[in-house]
Amino acid sequence: MSPPPQHAPASGGEPPSLDLGEVLIHGTYRHRFAVFGLLVVGTLGGLLYGSSLPPQFISSGKILVRFGAKEKQAPESPVPGTSSGGANAAGIEDEVQLLSNPALYHQVVLELGGERFIGTTTRDLAPLPGPLAVLEPIRGRLTSWASAKGPETFQQPEAALQQAVAAIAAGGSISNKARSKTIEVLFTADDPILARDVVDAYLRVFQKRHREVYTIAPQETFFTDQLHRALAEAERVRREHYEHIAECGHVDPTAQKARLLSDIQALESSMSQARTRLAAITSERAALQALLEAEPEQIETPVSAQVITNPVFTSLYTQESNLRGQLASLGTEFREGSPAYTARAAHLEAQIEAARLTLERTPTVLEISPARTQLAPNQRRATLTEQIQDLGREEQGLVGSQAHELWLLDEHERHMAQFIACEPRHLDLQDDLTRKESHVAELHAALDKAAIMGLIDRNEQMSNLVVIQKATMPVKPYGPSRSKYYLMGIVGSAALALGYLLLRHVTDWRVRYASHVAATAGHPLLGMIGEQPKWRRLGKQLRNQGRG
């Protein structure tokens, strides 16, 4: 038997379009029993699932945080007083973090017992309304199956404990309004007594944990241990820093670097001046050498006449002087004015005059040799030679000084290269040492503050946490919303029915509509005999299908 013709178009034809109206109307009528069954099953499934859910109860408790001297410090900070926010905001955040610690969930489970968090769905549920009461046995079996999985878990205590902790984490919540010192603890469970007991135990465990955290004695021990480790670490860094200084020779990097740069600049300037002076010396020496070559070795030098003192003139001069002495002393031998005196004085004066006249005619010196000229070494050449030698000595000194300065420059550049290589490590060690010493100072201050806070802790008797609202006992359940599950069942069953109709329409090969005829023949539809309005055709098709 050959298969029925498919909806494939003929060559050159267009595929039939999907008419949703035809699918919904004709398909629903043809497959009315399957569609109705899917709608009924989905609706009943949503009804059963929503009805089988246990009611949820919520309990709440409130704690007022009164910040004392200890709570103004951030408990998780290694050095108190370093929190960026105010004492109120930082303290509330710390309390919320303490409440959110999974360790508290574990303590609550140990206090209440893990078996209370498992197998709690066996309580009586609300009866199903009206005709749905016939489904009560099915719902009971579903509920019993769900609750039977709980006790089996206690064959593994560790898994049961983890499941109970997860149940508290999932059902609990902590809230704090802005600018409020009140923290509210909420817990949701399907047992009102369990919800109340969990909140109550949570408040007790939190108060105990609060006292443990803010007890100062452990902080003193903690700060002491931290201080010892910080001192040892600072001493290690200090020793490493000193060893690095001894190896590289850099005590003050900034000053030494500036001094090295200044010395290098001074040496380069001095060497530049020396090179300039050496070039000038070369030029001066060349000029002096040219002058020296132009000068003769000997030149004519005038020689003065050689004379000696005339001995005759000397004798006459001595004789005149003696006569004048006798004339001056004549008064001692003769009386002045006497003839003898007068005669003797006249005689001496005549002799003095004669001696004077003779002296005037007698030359004072006698010429031994006459004046002449003679060849002598050229003193100008000697002067030029001495200047050239002075320039040579200056050049030699500059060359030696320049060699020494070049050696110093190499040494300075080597030191600079060593400094550049050692400077990063030196600065890192110096910064690390500064941080370590600062940390030691902070720990000293923290330890002193902890000692003072210890006195306050030993004298403080009143707790800073006050339970202003004990755990409430829920009277009415707040959930779950069963109508949501009913609606989900109806919508899901409708979607399944629509998918079923589409699937049947796509897989059905039989020709049922005019569009199918055009698609199968591959030609456009020109008309229909006895065509009626669409609503009449639709009614007739439905009646025919009902008869067929």
> Average of pLDDT values for 479-489?
76
Would you state the pLDDT for residue 190? 82
How many angstroms separate the CA atoms of 107 and 102, rounded?
A: 9
Q: Which residue has the higher pLDDT, 519 or 319?
A: 319
Reported confidence tier of residue 280, pLDDT bands at 50, 70, 90: very high
Q: Which residue has the higher pLDDT, 510 or 62?
A: 62
pLDDT digits (tens, 9 = 90+) for 456-471: 555 544 456 778 888 8
Is the whole-model pTM more than 0.85? no
Reported confidence tier of residue 84, pLDDT bands at 50, 70, 90: very low
At residue 82, does pLDDT exceed 50? no
At residue 410, does pLDDT exceed 60? yes
- The closest alpha carbon to 57, from 145, 186, 174, belongs to 186
Return the structure tokens found at 277.
């002076």
Would you state the pLDDT for residue 312? 82
Return the structure tokens found at 45.
């499934």
Would you state the pLDDT for residue 471? 82
Reported confidence tier of residue 490, pLDDT bands at 50, 70, 90: confident
State the burial class of residue 182 (Cβ atoms within 10 Å of its Cβ: 0-12, 13-18, 19+): middle
DSSP string covering 353-367:
HHHHHHHHHS-SEEE
Range with top average pLDDT, 213-227, 244-258, 360-374, 394-408 = 394-408
DSSP string covering 201-247:
HHHHHHHHHHHHHT-HHHHHHHHHHHHHHHHHHHHHHHHHHHHHHHH
